Amino acid sequence: MEPQEQPVKDIWILRKGEGVKTLACTIGCFDLLHPGHLDFLSTAAIEADDLIVGTPADMIFINLKGRPPIMTAEERCEILESLIMVSAAEVLPSLDYAAWVDRLRPSVLVMSVDHTADRFDRAAARVMSYGGRVVRLERSPRGSTSEIIERIASHARQDVLLCRDFHGDGA
């Protein structure tokens, strides 16, 4: 994906001129988009006129998840921006989420109830300090990236066993 010609903040300023009054922001990895992600983003989008999503850079992702992402940060942004409920997506180069919300100054910060680390608390405090709201959403039961990865691995293992049996290499 080509870098955005305009930073997300500039896009938001232009949109405000078009009559958009409220901005919601959320932060997440959103690797291998699944129905649970769609539930979360759809609910987050209801909170404001526009929804901007921050997703961590690949090295940050590795530090958070203990594994490399399946999709690069740029690919995740491209996929997120293709969703009707997402106005823009941005790669976050650090875990300083408070600095990101300071730059965008959203009306609403939408977070998962699972987001309990200090970096989320600092971002929430910053949004509330200028009169914004924080909305915490429950995790959707409709999927997880880890489950998808395990399903793919399980299918791959079964395929290997089937090939061995077919070719007579099995026991």
The token pair that represents 30 in the structure block: 């959103």
Beta bridge partner(s), residue 24: 51, 108
Residue 108: what pLDDT?
96
What is the pTM assigned to this prediction?
0.79
Rounded average pLDDT per 10-residue block, the chain, 171 residues:
52 60 93 91 95 96 93 96 94 93 93 82 93 90 78 74 63 49
Q: What does DSSP say about strands 88-92 and 133-137: parallel, antiparallel, or unpaired?
A: unpaired
Residue 2: what pLDDT?
43
CA-based angle 72:87:140, to the nearest 5? 70
Residue 23: what pLDDT?
92
Residue 4: what pLDDT?
45
